[in-house]
Structure 1
Amino acid sequence: MGKEPLILLPGTLCDHRLWGHQVQHLADIADISIGDITKDDTIKGMAKSILSNAPEKFALAGLSLGGIVAMEVVHQAPERVTNLALLDSNPNGPKPEQIEAWEKFNVMVDEGRFSEITEKFLLPNLIHKNRLADKRLIATICDMAEKVGSEAYKRQLKAVASRSDATDKLKGIQCPTLLLVGREDAVCPVEFHKQMSFLIPNSKLAVVEDCGHLSSMEQPAIITLYLRQWLLEVNPFERQGENEIEK
């Protein structure tokens, strides 16, 4: 039996390192590629680009902005996505206060202050407070942002600011869907994922303890375990121990 094609979509200002543990430890069962969502400035355009480079059928997982794009990929080509995993994501449209903050970040980029955005404004909300002293994790997050760069960031900000509310599309998702979220995610909280779990017919929700927004990096082994079971279709929703399973 061949490996299942699996496309992983990073979040805003993230690259392949967001999925480093998963790529390493799922390679025995999946043919993994990292989707590029840095070239387009709309969610629809990002999804179209992913589909144009994807196999005929594939499993799809996205975190944060990657999850938003993944929802649109399924909307555009539901027959091609065999399994869907949405991590720390958000189906809702942008709020006025978010758009205001993103406009300020655009100004900071134009003023040559791009590096300040991640370090001073984003980091406190991206990871669990107990990880803010993890110098290696912090360095990786900041380096990912630098590598993605300011121009790609502006495109990503335009995409999230102009996106449509996707909640009305969730009921149309028919493939098995795994929802994963950090208990302390301050960007895309648990409530968003409960909302998605209620609307997506064939879905389950796992809440990961001691974890913020960047779950695949903060709790990599746990996230990899869930994704492995999801790919193998070995009931990924019956796990005892430190993580709460909710529907």
Structure 2
Amino acid sequence: MHSDTSRENLLSPGAHEIVVEGLSQRYHVYGSGPVCLAVPGGPGVVWESLRTPALEEFLTMVYVEPLGTGRSQRLPTHPHGYTRARYMRSLTGLLDRLSLSRVFLLGHSHGGFVAQYTAVHHPDRLRGLVLYESAPVTGPEQMAEASARVEEFVHRNQGRPGLPAALAGLQAVGTATDDEHITAALRALLPIYLAHYWEREEAFRELRETITCTYISSLDEDGKPDLIDDRATLPALTVPTLVIAGRYDVICGPRWAQELHELIPRSWLSLLEDSGHLGHLEEPKAFAAAVRTFVHSTPA
């Protein structure tokens, strides 16, 4: 763990820990090039699930462990209170500590919700935004779309011996209220998050056996739902934006990627044709190529 507070040391390879608003924030640095903060999904999914060595070839990747996740500190109201506004403050606090003015910000899934919220409120801090498997809304509309996509997944995989267990895992997510049960549910449902899990089972076996998740609720510190609807604010977004989604993603798939693309002025859209929710693992070359083209096309 690095303790020197100089910018150079805070961006040196490896694990780091800083304090923002009295809470310890952990992050991990790999690669070289322009700085890109990467925010994982869930909320609560372990940061290693988002690590992408192909991006580290041309970016200094700063993989964030969001508050409450992994070894970053938990809020006093844990598991509640992890609003996008709170996550945003920890991200901008990290940028302040790193003495960075404008960076790339990549958010995956729930991390995408946080990233687009940050871009709307602090566009001056960002050189570019990558919304990876994100959506402009949460709530009933998104759940209805996800249910329809799950039905398509079931149809494509009818007869697979592992299908019932995966569907049971998906159901269990809704009832989990601690780290152990949310992790077990995530591991069980992982095939649904991938385009062709059973055809590539050996390649994803280690991920399924080791991925972990912290239980974080969708409630704010007062116990109220932190619902998302960015349709009114995204048309005013000025940050150059790349939207990426997997063709087979059941959670934040092509419908939402297309809507984000239409809402955000001058945005780029990249659909990974052979991926689900984890295209950086399923099609790492195509994923990295899309990000590389976007980065190189974005003014310094």
TM-score of the two chains, using structure 1 as the length reference? 0.78
- Name the structure with the higher helix share: 1
| In structure 2, distance between residues paired with 1:233 and 1:204 | 11
* 2:183 is equivalent to residue 154 of structure 1: no
Shift, 1:165, TM fit? 0.8
What is residue 51 of structure 2 aligned with on the other side?
Answer: 20
| In structure 2, distance between residues paired with 1:124 and 1:141 | 9
One-letter amino acid of the structure 2 residue matched with residue 87 of structure 1: Y
- Asked whether the 8 Å contact 1:132–1:138 carries over to 2, the reply is no
| In structure 2, distance between residues paired with 1:20 and 1:97 | 26
Equivalent of residue 31 in structure 1, options 37, 60, 63: 60
> How well do the aligned residues superpose, as a CA RMSD in angstroms?
3.1
Shift, 1:37, TM fit? 2.2
What is residue 79 of structure 1 aligned with on the other side?
Answer: 124
What is residue 128 of structure 1 aligned with on the other side?
Answer: 195
| In structure 1, distance between residues paired with 2:203 and 2:197 | 13
What is residue 184 of structure 2 aligned with on the other side?
Answer: 116
Once the two structures are superposed, residues 107-147 of structure 1 have per-residue CA deviations (whole angstroms, 9 ceiling, x without a partner) of: 43359634431133x324311134565234243145222xx
One-letter amino acid of the structure 2 residue matched with residue 171 of structure 1: P
- Asked whether the 8 Å contact 1:118–1:142 carries over to 2, the reply is no
| In structure 2, distance between residues paired with 1:47 and 1:103 | 30
| In structure 1, distance between residues paired with 2:288 and 2:179 | 39
Larger radius of gyration: 2
Structure 2 vs 1, CA of residues 173 and 96 (structure 1 numbering), >3 Å: closer, same or farther? closer
| In structure 2, distance between residues paired with 1:113 and 1:15 | 15
Equivalent of residue 242 in structure 2, options 174, 178, 183: 178
- Unmatched segments (≥5 aa) in structure 2: 1-31, 69-80, 144-168
- Asked whether the 8 Å contact 2:187–2:208 carries over to 1, the reply is no
What is residue 44 of structure 1 aligned with on the other side?
Answer: 85
Equivalent pairs counted in the alignment come to 224
Once the two structures are superposed, residues 15-60 of structure 1 have per-residue CA deviations (whole angstroms, 9 ceiling, x without a partner) of: 3333333xx3333432220122242611211111111102221111
One-letter amino acid of the structure 2 residue matched with residue 167 of structure 1: R
Shift, 1:97, TM fit? 8.8
| In structure 2, distance between residues paired with 1:190 and 1:96 | 15
Shift, 1:69, TM fit? 0.6
* 2:36 is equivalent to residue 6 of structure 1: yes
| In structure 2, distance between residues paired with 1:95 and 1:234 | 36
Structure 2 vs 1, CA of residues 114 and 185 (structure 1 numbering), >3 Å: closer, same or farther? closer
Equivalent of residue 206 in structure 1, options 267, 270, 293: 270
One-letter amino acid of the structure 1 residue matched with residue 255 of structure 2: E
What is residue 169 of structure 1 aligned with on the other side?
Answer: 233
What is residue 244 of structure 1 aligned with on the other side?
Answer: none
One-letter amino acid of the structure 2 residue matched with residue 206 of structure 1: S
TM-score of the two chains, using structure 2 as the length reference? 0.65
Once the two structures are superposed, residues 202-222 of structure 1 have per-residue CA deviations (whole angstroms, 9 ceiling, x without a partner) of: 202111111101111111111
Once the two structures are superposed, residues 62-102 of structure 1 have per-residue CA deviations (whole angstroms, 9 ceiling, x without a partner) of: 1111111101111221111111111111111322895xx99
| In structure 2, distance between residues paired with 1:221 and 1:34 | 19
One-letter amino acid of the structure 2 residue matched with residue 200 of structure 1: I
Task: Using CA pairs under 8 Å that are at least 6 residues apart, name the structure with larger relative contact order, 1 or 2.
Answer: 1
| In structure 1, distance between residues paired with 2:141 and 2:59 | 40
| In structure 1, distance between residues paired with 2:251 and 2:51 | 22
What is residue 260 of structure 2 aligned with on the other side?
Answer: 196
Tell me the secondary structure at the aligned position of residue 236 of structure 2. coil
| In structure 2, distance between residues paired with 1:228 and 1:209 | 18
- Unmatched segments (≥5 aa) in structure 1: 236-247
Shift, 1:180, TM fit? 0.8
Q: Which stretch shifts more, 30-39 or 106-115?
A: 106-115
Shift, 1:3, TM fit? 3.0
- Asked whether the 8 Å contact 2:191–2:198 carries over to 1, the reply is no
